[in-house]
A and B are shown apart, each in its own frame.
Chain A
């Protein structure tokens, strides 16, 4: 089975622009979550989607949004980019909704805001 696939892997954006990141979960997985990783704040949960519905949301401003499609693929969008949004954005998937489910991570999308 293919793992969690994220595109693009690397991108550079200018402050004030917006960006969309894409994620394809492991085949059969219906839950997709997103995390932000920075040297200062570490790994922080952004949100999770299951069956196209947002189930949970982290403590991020409204500039960060996401969605999930009927095929479980997900996108996250960041509008009005700030320098502090430079980070590795990790997508993860799991096949159920149980608390102890194994969560599988993709390799991430490296976003640099200049």
Chain B
């Protein structure tokens, strides 16, 4: 079975500081990896995804993530955050041959303070 663990439930950070949101996954088969963002009272928006190839993936809004197969991690980073990045971030895996089914982590609440 697949599972996703987001290691921090809340991450407070000051504006213009770098941030890393950590995600580990467990799977006995190959998976695809995703990061989604959810702003208050809204649905989920895809930030980036890893399917194959380069382990460094660049996404929207200046975010990037690095896939590490040996550590089964897919951490999300941004070198300089803005107030507008305040939101909840979800890491997810797509189960092989069950493409419409995403397994999500519990989410990390990023709070950017001025």
Contact = CB atoms under 8 A, between A and B. Distances in A.
A56 B46 contact: no
Contacts of B34: 103
Nearest to A103: B102
A42 B101 CA distance: 14
A92 B34 CA distance: 15
Interface string B101-114: 11111110000000
A107 B42 contact: yes
Interface stretch (A14-22, A76-84, A94-102): A94-102
Interface residues of A, number: 29
A105 B101 CA distance: 13
B17 interface: no
A55 B90 contact: no
A8 interface: no
B43 A106 contact: yes
Contacts of B42: 107-108
Interface size class of B (residues with CB under 8 A): 20 to 34
B28 interface: no
Interface string B26-57: 00000010101000011111100101000000
B102 A99 contact: no
A56 B94 contact: no
Nearest to A98: B99
A56 B101 contact: yes
Interface string A33-68: 101000000111100101000011010000000000
A42 B44 contact: no
In the complex, the 10 A-B pairs of residues with the closest C-beta atoms, listed nearest first: A48-B100, A105-B43, A99-B99, A43-B104, A105-B44, A100-B51, A107-B43, A33-B100, A100-B32, A45-B101
17 contacts: A4-B43, A42-B105, A42-B107, A43-B107, A45-B100, A48-B100, A50-B100, A56-B98, A94-B100, A100-B51, A100-B94, A101-B99, A102-B46, A103-B34, A105-B43, A107-B41, A107-B42
